[in-house]
Amino acid sequence: MAHTIRWGIMATGGIATTFVRDLLKDPKARDASDVAHQVVGVASSSSKDKATQFIEALGIPGPCTAYSNYDDLVADPHIDVVYVATPHSHHFQNAMLALGAGKHVLCEKAFTVNAAQTRILCETARQKNLFLMEAVWTRYFPLSVQVRDIIRSGEIGEVLRTIADTSFGDDVEEKWGTAHRMVNPDLAGGALLDLGIYSLTWVFQTLYHTLPKDQRKSPTVTSQMTPYHLTGADESTTILLSFPTSTPTNGPHPQRSQGVAMTNIRVAGDPDEQGTAGPNIRIQGTKGEIQVFGYPFRPTRYRVIPKKGAGEVRDVECSFPAQGHGMYWEADEVARCLRDGKLESEGMPWEESIAIMEVMDEVRRQGGLTYPATIESTQYPLPL
């Protein structure tokens, strides 16, 4: 019998819409007959009507209660886990609210604004014996799992470099202006936290996560950042990460590995949106290379290229069952972790979320990017 978990949805924006649509897909279509999902509560911070409209527009089956505030949502005794889909400027306060009410939490990425906030969330979850996970959905794709398995198998040798680019070529002034969350410092806007997290995800899941836990070591960081002239948020950030270990064996003569994580909202990694520019992700080892195609947050295929004479090039397509977006796989992971009594997911453990937030802290320090004190604060509760 499938283990069913009951979700409360905090916020009603685009990411929440995409997530709930995936929750409503039949798990059997993706061979997940062991878990199931119900949405039993939705909250908007602005009005109950907005939550009601969200429920009706998505056809969420009842019973599902609409709430006009987040306090009432987290107090609902029928909810097992809260999905925090607010801007990342608000994640710390919102996730703390849910944990304080005794709810398990899946919180959108970037997890928080800084590493200090992430550490407090993790410690709070530990103290309260509650599950907590950063919603880095890409990590739970079969494609990502397969790529990590290929690296661990040693098929492409010691992986010494990963290059990842998550960039969109937009007319920034016309499309984003100054108020949109993408460029608004009051909402922790900028390319780094919103898009750069995906480039860092690929660097970390290939050069860090593929090592045994006791061999994972944080990288040194060098970066360059270009501020958006109208708001000061970053419109372009490039990060060079140097890890003291290589993967998968780190031997017999340990080598350093390097990651290049790029993000930009003015030039595109895929200009014609047809893949003509080639892969946005290249994972390079001593015996070959893996190339990943499609947007880094939702790639659709990968190519394994062995060294000359070492085998055949192979292309692997990775589909999204039931015409889903791909968020159902992270939801399934949450369900299995709750079923098994786990407080964190092995696919996105707390220490790794903290390590990535520490990198982004250092990148912001080097680039001189700060956010308002209220959203950088570790004080809770604090009205935003």
Nearest to 32 by CA among 344, 330, 343, 348: 330
Would you state the pLDDT for residue 251? Answer: 73
* CA separation for the pair 375, 379 (Å, rounded): 9
- The answer to whether the CB of 348 falls within 8 A of the CB of 110 is no
Each residue's pLDDT tens digit, 127-154: 999 999 999 999 999 999 999 999 999 9
**Which tokens hold the place of 308?**
């000359």
Sign of the CA dihedral with 332 first, then 297, 358, and 256 last:
positive
Examine the residue annotation and report whether 287 is marked as an active-site residue of this protein: no
Please identify which of the residues 109, 128, 213, 342 carries the catalytic annotation: 109
Return d(Cα 282, Cα 37) in angstroms, integer: 35
Q: Which residue has the higher pLDDT, 384 or 298?
A: 298
pLDDT in tens, 328-363: 999 999 999 999 999 999 999 999 999 999 999 999
How do the domains of the chain map onto residue ranges? Answer: 3-138+328-348, 142-317
| pLDDT greater at residue 255 or residue 198 | 198
What CATH superfamily is the domain 3-138+328-348? NAD(P)-binding Rossmann-like Domain (3.40.50.720)
Mean pLDDT score of the chain: 97
Q: Is the pLDDT at 252 greater than 80, yes or no? A: no
Give dist(CA 63, CA 38) in Å, integer.
Answer: 9
**Spatial distance between the Cα atoms of 276 and 22, rounded to a whole number of angstroms:** 29
pLDDT tens digits along 73-83: 999 999 999 99
> What percentage of the chain has pLDDT greater than the value 70?
100
The predicted structure's pLDDT at residue 124:
98
Residues 6+ apart with CB under 8 A from 254: 244, 245, 246
- Inter-residue contact 170 to 209 (CB < 8 Å): no
Which helix (H) or strand (E) element contains residue 367? helix 350-367
281-285, strands of its sheet edge to edge: 220-227, 234-243, 257-264, 159-167, 281-285, 288-293, 301-306, 314-317
Give the pLDDT confidence of 9-54 residue by residue, as tens digits. 999 999 999 999 999 999 999 999 999 999 999 999 999 999 999 9
Q: What mean pLDDT comes out for the span 291-301?
A: 97
CATH of domain 142-317: 3.30.360.10
Give the predicted TM-score (pTM) of the model. Answer: 0.97
Q: How far is CA 34 from the centre of its chain?
A: 24
Average pLDDT, integer, range 60-82? 98
Predicted local confidence at residue 254, as pLDDT: 73
Distance from C-alpha of 241 to C-alpha of 154, rounded to nearest angstrom: 22
pLDDT at 239: 98
Which of the four pLDDT bands, split at 50, 70 and 90, describes residue 249?
confident
| Residue 342 to residues 73, 216, 339, Cα–Cα distance (Å) | 23, 21, 8
